[in-house]
Amino acid sequence: MNIVPEYVCPADGGKLTVDGESLRCPSGHLYPISRGIPRFADAGYSRAFGAQWVRFRRTQLDSYTGTTISRDRLRRGLGPVWDELAGKTVLECGCGAGRFTEVLLERGALLTSVDLSAAVDANAANFPPDEQHRIAQADILELPFQDHSYDVVFCFGVVQHTPDPEATIAALYRQVRPGGWLVFDHYSRRLQYVLSTAPLFRAVLKRLSPSRGLAATNAIVRALLPLHRRAGRVAPFVRRVSPVQAYYGKLPLDERAQRDWALLDTHDALRDWHKHFRTREQIERTASELGLEDVVITMAGNGIEARGRRPT
């Protein structure tokens, strides 16, 4: 099996050749390869995510939790594409540690996993590159591929964390070949979030260094998670005053997994540098302006799940 398309220079589209421990294009742009992963970008605003995925490398993998939480979410988002993955070139953008990478590989996709941060190292530790899977550190806005290259472009949990969601969706769509699919999701507008204390905590915590940020969210979760566990009928009140992401009664996780998911997702929710919200109508408009066909948009998961295809 061969994963196509080949990498090209993200700056000018030039052909890349291996030059020692780097990739080099004819005009001299140089991209280091470290730990077997080509590095086309620096983590930038995504540093906290990198630290998060290295720290919680296995927490949300179905093979670790013994559940089908990630598989079910991916299957729902992909719709009919789920049955078409075997042998298809799939680009997963913002792969994180690989909760969806795992399922995409199981489905037989020829997978390229890309992330802006050190999450690529966690992903590689979980699912080492081989003839079915390759990994690159790259920015969605400057991807190292020619346009219209992939059968499926998949991006869950990411677009709302980029500086300009509409520009990100357009960049993802550029990678889709004629007849291919774009599948992504986005946070929806939630009054519940605005009325909670989370935005206040986030305003402070997002400015901390990766190690301090992990320590701070760790302390918050350890102090407040017991309240969520015992909340019972006052759970809505506890959710209003506590910024902890807790899944008691929502996800079939044992006590240790409940704690680890709370640690991970509270960090995720309070340490992201960019956080955007969109309505269903806004996502519909973006898809329509880009010219996607067969668009299906549902309110699920992170808020809004969307898929559509590029006209042939």
Ligand X SMILES: C[S@@+](CC[C@H](N)C(=O)[O-])C[C@H]1O[C@@H](n2cnc3c(N)ncnc32)[C@H](O)[C@@H]1O
Residues that bind ligand X (CB under 6 A): 46, 49, 53, 93-96, 99, 114-117, 119, 139-141, 156-158, 161-162, 268
CA distance 18 to 150: 23
Q: Please name the residue that has the structure tokens 């260094």.
A: 209
Q: 55 to each of 52, 104, 118, 161, 305, how far by Cα in Å?
A: 5, 22, 11, 19, 27
**Of all residues in this chain, which one has the CB nearest to ligand X in the complex?**
96
Residue 151 near residue 268 (C-beta atoms within 8 A): no
CB 34 within 8 A of CB 41: no
> Cα–Cα distance between 145 and 36 in angstroms, integer?
18
Q: Which is nearer to ligand X, 167 or 203 (CB)?
A: 167
Quick one: 26 or 199, whose CB is closer to ligand X? 199
Token pair, residue 92, equals 């997963």
Token digits for 262?
Answer: 């709370």
Least spacing, CB of residue 134 vs ligand X, in Å: 15
Cα–Cα distance measured from residue 271 to residue 205, given in angstroms and rounded to the nearest whole number:
6
Sign of the four-CA dihedral 118, 123, 126, 129: negative
Closest CB 89 distance from ligand X, rounded Å = 18
Q: CB-wise, 94 or 210, nearer to ligand X? A: 94
Q: How far is the CB of 53 from ligand X (least distance, A)?
A: 6
- Residue 232 beta carbon to ligand X: minimum distance, rounded to whole angstroms: 30
Residue from 78, 99, 98, 104 nearest 305 by CA: 78
Q: Are 205 and 270 in contact (CB under 8 A)?
A: yes
Beta bridge partners of residue 308, listed in sequence order: 182
Minimum gap (Å) between residue 149 Cβ and ligand X: 16
Cβ 114 to ligand X shortest distance, Å: 6
Nearer to ligand X, 242 or 245 (CB): 245
The pair of three-digit structure tokens given for residue 87, joined into one six-digit string: 């042998």
Which residue, 45 or 229, is less far from ligand X as judged by CB? 45
**Shortest Cβ 227–ligand X spacing (Å):** 25
Smaller CB separation from ligand X, 99 or 278: 99
Q: Which is nearer to ligand X, 9 or 48 (CB)?
A: 48
Q: Give CA–CA dist 145/95, Å, rounded.
A: 17
